[in-house]
Amino acid sequence: MPSWDVRTSYWNIGSSLSLAVTIPFIIYKVMRAVYLHRSFRELRGKVVVITGASSGLGEALAHEFYKKGCLIVLCARRRQELDRVREDLLKIQSTGPTHHPIIMPLDLSDINSLETAVTKILEITGHIDILINNGGVSHRGNVIDTKPDVDIKIMVVNYFGAVALTKAILPNMIKQKQGHIVQISSIQGLIGLPSRSAYCASKHALQAFSDSLRAEVKDSNIHVTVVSPGYIKTHLSENALTGTGNTYGQMDETTLSGYTPEYVAECILTAVVKKTKEVVISPFLPKIAIFLRRFIPHLYFVAMSRRARKTN
């Protein structure tokens, strides 16, 4: 058994190592908090356009950016729900200056109307600083049972709608030499899952578009952030389209146990102020799946085949 002096020496060494790790960690956390605080202050007065703002993640994002002093433009199809969200925002007790939210009814599937909507926003605000392409629709159905019309509808809303809105806003951002485009993708934009073919395809397309866009607009001081969350506890699965085009109408267990919209919105806010290019908000298992798809695809294919058998 070690003598008392030896044990004391071990204790001293352990304490020194602990301090050597703890002190830099504390310094890092303090510096990070100061940096984020200053960055959050820079958001004050920024014009933020959010699609899908009538519920779920879009509504949570509206709350986060509104509390930071941004001028929020709420976009979605349901005017009544947008009114509700605006009233909820106005009830927030803020310590800093806030701006009266703007409502802009908007249907992402009506591609030809989006440029007109952007023109109306610019007439009111004069400019747009941040676009968050959050609106979208999900899918539940096997490939063979999904009608092509459903594939097209999901691609129009999730991909072409986001692309058209981005293109309508880009000239203003390029003119002012600054801007930030946030694409809300999904883990399923990085890995394809059984019974989600149309949704996965639309998000894969959005990922690729964003990579091309990021390179092209870098010299115009425009940032592009792609956010890939896992399951979020929203009504996305209930509003998903089946293979026949009907509404799925069920809350999946995975969705029910997912992240809260508020948590994901906080992560996205931080990503915006840090100008992060890609953010994966996910538990450990989906990250393993992403790793396997990229580096050991055979194992990924085996795992997905087994998952497909279970869901059929």
Active site residue 248: no
Q: Which is the catalytic residue, given 199, 231, 259, 300?
A: 199
Q: How far apart are CA 113 and CA 233, in angstroms?
A: 30
Q: Are residues 158 and 206 in contact, defined by beta-carbon separation less than 8 angstroms?
A: yes
The residues annotated with a catalytic role in the active site are 199
